[in-house]
Amino acid sequence: MVVEYTAYDVKAKKKVKIQNPKPVKMKNGRWAVKGTSPATGINVFRILSAEESKKLHK
């Protein structure tokens, strides 16, 4: 199951699909997705909800 995540690209000022998404566990224990923006190539980051993180680890 491939899930597409979106994040806000600050440079392009719009939401974009995250390229090369990688799950990351933050210091506080929550999960996030880190990747790059197809519009500008900068790093984008999205904190996942509890429901999304459960789907990530199934």
Going from N- to C-terminal start, the domains of the chain cover 6-56
Identify which has the larger pLDDT, 1 or 3: 3
Please state, as a whole number, how many other Cβ atoms lie within 10 Å of the Cβ of residue 7: 21
pLDDT at 3 over 80: yes
pLDDT at 1 over 60: no
Q: What are the Cα distances from residue 9, in Å, to 29, 49, 55, 56, 58?
A: 24, 19, 24, 22, 28
The SS3 assignment for 18 reads coil
What the block records as the tokens of 32 is 């996030």
- pLDDT, tens digit, for every residue of 5-48? 999 999 999 999 999 999 999 999 999 999 999 999 999 999 99
pLDDT of residue 58: 75
Q: What's phi and psi for 50, nearest 5 deg?
A: -60, -40
